[in-house]
Amino acid sequence: MALDIPQERGLSYLDHKYLDGLEVCRFPLINFLEPLPLDWMYLLYAVMLLGALGIMLGCCYRLSCLLFMLPYWYVFLLDKTTWNNHSYLYGLLGFQLTFMDANRYWSIDGLRHPRKRNAHVPLWNYTVLRMQIFIVYFIAGIKKLDADWVEGYSMGSLSRHWLFDPFKLVLSEEMTSLLVVHGGGLVLDLTAGYLLFFDATRPAALVFVSYFHCMNSQLFSIGMFSYTMLATSPLFCSPDWPRHLGARFPACLRRLLPSVEPPQPSEACVYGGSERKGQGRGERGPGLRQKLGALFTVLYVLEQLFLPYSHFITQGYNNWTKGLYGYSWDMMVHSRSHQHVKITYRDGVTGELGYLNPGVFTQSRRWKDHADMLKQYATCLSRLLHNYNVSQPEIYFDIWVSINDRFQQRLFDPQVDIVRAEWSPFRHTPWLKPLLVNLSPWRAKLQEIESSLDNQTEVVFIADFPGLHLENFVSEDLGNTSLQLLKGEVVVEIVKEQRNYTLQEGDRMQLPPGEYHKVHTVSPEPSCYMYVYVNTTDVALERNLTQLQELRDKVQNGSETEPLPPELQPILDGALGDAMQTDPVVQVFVQRQQRLEELQRRRNATLGERLQRFGARKYFLFRRSFLMTWISLRNLALGRPSLEHLAREVAYANMQQEAGAAGTEGVQKEPERAEL
């Protein structure tokens, strides 16, 4: 948790997220939750980090748990867009540890308090932790019994990763996806908790879950989660395994290791008859503390078993998937792709229409998939649009999503003003469009169609509801675009020509480039159709790049004897010179070659080079976290200096004080591409 705070919790880029005066829409669980001023947010994170370090060292343990847990849950509830299963798990573990005696062994508190030093820990402490990890595995397995996972649609492209190359020596890529990725993930999640629990199966289980989490650390950007789960595996072993391990070391090293002496009795524990006599203790039954511990264990486990299936209560958070993402343990079951997002606003007084860039005034893209966040986003936009002379704004969202390789379809009703739309956490969202699950069998046919096309041809599969229409624009780059109807009936309106064309199932028509068209669904059931197109500009560019590559190869191998003209010289030396005078195709070629060479260099890097790159990245991250926290704490204690002085300090934290523009390339984030 201490390592997670500067990374996934965001301490290293806190000023980007909570900069004072930033016009941004936020998505807290409860609308009245607001972030503190930036300097106070840094103080809050510093307290949370101190709490995590205190838990790790067993120093002022109970206070450290509170210092970690309270800020953590505040930050967690402050932003739903960052929620995921492991962030939720960290908060649960912090809550559990607050009630446990995790400072009894190899802890600073043990050095200060002899009664706590090397003392027994109540069994319910282990029970709660083991049950929590068991629930993470087992419920994740139950969720993977979903038909999409079992049939191999959830993570269909994951088998292309190099980690699965050994499996592809004996299996095709499709079978690797179905049997290894989906089948193996399902079996491991369902059985891992049981196999870790029993002594006979634990060694094999430790090998398999360790391999599983090491793979996940390379496959997904999930922060410390893989390493956290690796660290929880020893919880299922006998509690005295550190003593047996320490006893194997030479006596000269044991002073630096945890004690190998038997633990002393604890007032927090209840001992059986033989144990009671061995400890020299009189008859004493469970006291209030032990009864409360047992009650906490039972209630907590029941609550954790109930929450993943409590979505019938919080119906407002249900979309195509059930509930708020993060506490259901439905990990990696659903993959989405967004084809089209349009935000339309209408001035309620003048009737003026306008369009907003998707994601404007936000720092996240998750709002597109959740009705509760969409409602918060619309409310925030309506407030901000007043600053741009838009009175009584109405806001409409047209969001097209494909989930697990289905048709692209609308997620929300585009005709509903979300600002004034009803939404309640305990009632079904009326403006949510249903997932067209009856069209799921089409996925095999869609894959067959897609695989039959050549590499230069693209296809998009669309399903739409009766009475709605899709307005689209065919770029002039897409010189060969056609629309083919797969199911239902549609009317295609060419806006400029003011002409309509009716398409029945199987019909196909060419769409004019550089013009708008509308596809109206007129059949009583949803329509299904596909766009097939070729980006002629990309094809021509690729052809020119191929010719330049062939020319470069000929010059390098000596088969081309004619000297290159000056405008083509950059393809050999890689120096672009004046970008304004360089041919655009040559410029693209050189840039692509530089990217390929950099990618090849990284792939062929030695272990030492990889470790050096990893260390440099982590050094910058932790360095910036520390320096920015120090600056903010100084501001709180002594007041803020001048803006020029503050800018120099931030530049130093960014490692930009001396480097200038050339040195900033390694520390600036690459801008994210918007999903259209």
What the block records as the tokens of 257 is 């290791």
Q: Choose the CATH number for 442-534 among 3.40.50.620, 1.10.3720.10, 2.60.120.10, 1.20.200.10.
A: 2.60.120.10
- CB neighbour burial string for 382-416, b if at least 16 within 10 angstroms, e if fewer: bebbeeeebeebbbbbbbbbbbbbbbbbbbbbbeb
Share in percent of the chain as helix, strand, coil (round to 5): 50, 10, 40
Angle between helices 85-98 and 61-78 in degrees, nearest 10: 150
Q: How far is CA 524 from CA 130, 467, 529, in A?
A: 53, 8, 15
- CB neighbour burial string for 608-627, b if at least 16 within 10 angstroms, e if fewer: eeeeeeeeeeeebeeebbbb
Backbone angles phi, psi at 519, to 5 degrees: -110, 110
R_g over Cα of the chain: 30
Backbone angles phi, psi at 258, to 5 degrees: -60, 155
354 - beta bridge partners? 345
pLDDT value for 536: 87
Cβ–Cβ < 8 Å for 439, 526: yes
* Spatial distance between the Cα atoms of 353 and 361, rounded to a whole number of angstroms: 19
Tell me the one-letter amino acid at 343.
Answer: I
* Spatial distance between the Cα atoms of 303 and 285, rounded to a whole number of angstroms: 28
pLDDT value for 54: 96
Query: Kindly report the CA angle at 285 between 283 and 286, in degrees rounded to 5?
Result: 150
pLDDT value for 666: 36
* Spatial distance between the Cα atoms of 343 and 363, rounded to a whole number of angstroms: 16
pLDDT value for 568: 80
Q: The tokens 């999903």 sit on which residue? A: 675
pLDDT value for 674: 31
In the chain (676 residues long), the average pLDDT of successive 10-residue segments reads: 91 92 92 95 97 95 96 96 92 95 92 91 93 96 94 91 92 93 95 95 95 92 91 93 86 81 88 63 72 91 93 92 82 91 94 93 92 96 93 96 96 96 95 96 94 90 96 88 95 94 95 94 96 90 88 82 78 67 82 88 89 91 95 95 93 68 38 31
pLDDT value for 528: 97
What the block records as the tokens of 666 is 């390694």
Q: Is 670 helix (H, G, I), strand (E, B) or coil?
A: coil
Nearest by Cα to 208 from 220, 217, 198, 196: 196
Please identify every residue annotated as catalytic: 144
Angle between helices 61-78 and 38-57 in degrees, nearest 10: 140
